[in-house]
Amino acid sequence: MTRFTRRDFLMTTATVSAASALGGNAFAAPAGLRYTPEKGAKLRVLRWKRFVQGDEDMWIANTKKFTQLTGVDVRIDNEGWEDVRPKAAVAANIGSGPDIIIGWFDDPHQYPDKLTDLTDLAGYLGNKHGGWYDVCKRYGTRNGKWIALPLGIVGNALVYRESHVKAAGFDAIPKDTAGFLKLCQALKAKGTPCGFALGKAVGDGNNWAHWLLWSHGGKLVDAKGNVVVNSPETIAALEYAKQLYETFVPGTLSWQDPSNNKAFIDGQVSLTANGISVYYSAKNSQDPKVQEMAKDIQHARFPIGPVGKPTELMQITQMMQFKYSKFPNAAKAYMQFMMEPEQYNPWMKAAIGYVSQPLKAYEANTIWTEDPKHTVYRDGGSIMLDNGHEGPLGLASAAAMADYIVLDMMAEAASGSKTPKEAAARAATRAERYYKV
């Protein structure tokens, strides 16, 4: 837990002037949208634990600036990725908890009536900063109203050792799933295997499992929300997963989000799916051997499957403001402040692009071009599908994601605990609990 007070931050002359002009207790954006925090306002913010230290450091620094400017004390609680979702659900159910929770995917759609209407703030930010990506609009809105504010996209890509891929007989990551399987088989034969999370990994597990399902034309539901996962396309994806799993390093069935980071840095795997955090960790390691590894790390987009087009899921994170908050104006002011370029651009840069922008104007951040290894993570908002694909986002899609239906199905079929047909049938039964006709 981190807590900030007005004494925590030494004001610069500019900050003193700004605070004085606003009476010391309001944040007014240059374009004019202004929220005046309630007298004596204090905020509690729950967010996920960082994987990149720069993310946390700059978030703290920006929060200190907000406290100094407005006088609003802000307490930040950091929770493991898997713990944020249940804590948010409990807060929504009992009507008490953090004023703002920074959660995952379409979780806001599980309890939209418990959340503050953020349409004014989202509209202001979109108009000012180049517009929201369409996928971010789908995640943040329900029935034309913004129920959450997309904070960013934790990009996901293939992370690999270039020298190991070349030693396996490939110049680069193949562009198609057939070639990708051959690469993974060759890596296994060389004693430098791959590994993808099959445990309850909120980001890394869900991202690659949905990509694989969609790449073969499978999907949980159709456009009308009918459960269609038990299909020939899904069976084909699961058969492929079974072959791919044979090339994995042991232990992936229990991998959570930190697991593949550790396995890669430890030299257990040469290829995985992850954010930019593996590269960041290697570059900043105190171990000279790991620092040398960073030079060998490359990133690539996922290959294209039989559907013939990109089918990537990435992990969107959204700020939710709960109606039970006693300080709604202060909460909106905080979110607005954190999304403005004076705070957002340095934060994204400090995290070396671990979180990419939901607003198009921030594509111009130099973090994406100062190192070519960063660039692949820039375009998450423009290429990714939402997790409801291709059905509507809502209570059912959020619940299905929270229940790990697609990821469990992939793990069951890949490991052989169920046949592909059995795994698909079980997934359909589970999905029908949420998608009721």
Could you please report the per-residue DSSP string of 63-118? HHHHHHHH--EEEEEEE-HHHHHHHHHHHHHHT-S-SEEEEETTGGGGSGGGB---
Residue 30's pLDDT is 52
Structure confidence at residue 82 (pLDDT)? 86
Give Cβ neighbours of residue 316 (< 8 Å, ≥ 6 apart). Answer: 104, 105, 135, 136, 139, 150, 152, 153, 154, 358, 384
| pLDDT at site 105 | 92
* Region(s) of the chain under CATH 3.40.190.10: 2-153+315-381, 157-313+403-432
End-to-end CA distance of the chain: 44
Architecture of domain 2-153+315-381: 3-Layer(aba) Sandwich (3.40)
Question: What does the pLDDT look like over 363-376, one tens digit per residue?
Answer: 999 999 999 999 99
Choose among 298, 272, 302, 301: nearest CA to 162.
298
pLDDT at 25: 56
State how far the Cα of 302 lies from the Cα of 410, in Å rounded to an integer.
17
CA distances 347 to 218, 364, 367, 421, Å, are 37, 14, 11, 46
What DSSP assignment string belongs to 187-236? HHHTT--B----SS-TTHHHHHHHHHHHHTT--SB-TT--B--SSHHHHH
User: Quick one: which of 89, 149, 92 has its CA closest to 121?
Assistant: 149
Phi, psi of 333 (to 5 degrees): -60, -40
pLDDT of amino acid 31: 55
Under DSSP, the state recorded for 355 is: E
Per-residue model confidence as pLDDT tens digits over 148-187? 999 999 999 999 999 999 999 999 999 999 999 999 999 9
pLDDT tens for the chain, residues 1 to 437: 444 333 333 322 233 233 333 334 555 555 578 999 999 999 999 999 988 899 999 999 999 999 999 999 999 999 998 899 999 999 999 999 999 999 999 999 999 999 999 999 999 999 999 999 999 999 999 999 999 999 999 999 999 999 999 999 999 999 999 999 999 999 999 999 999 999 999 999 999 999 999 999 999 999 999 999 999 999 999 999 999 999 999 999 999 999 999 999 999 999 999 999 999 999 999 999 999 999 999 999 999 999 999 999 999 999 999 999 999 999 999 999 999 999 999 999 999 999 999 999 999 999 999 999 999 999 999 999 999 999 999 899 999 999 999 999 999 999 999 999 999 999 999 999 999 85
Phi/psi of residue 44, nearest 5 degrees = -120, 125
Write out the two tokens for 46.
Answer: 């729950």
Q: Give the CATH H-level superfamily of domain 157-313+403-432.
A: Periplasmic binding protein-like II (3.40.190.10)
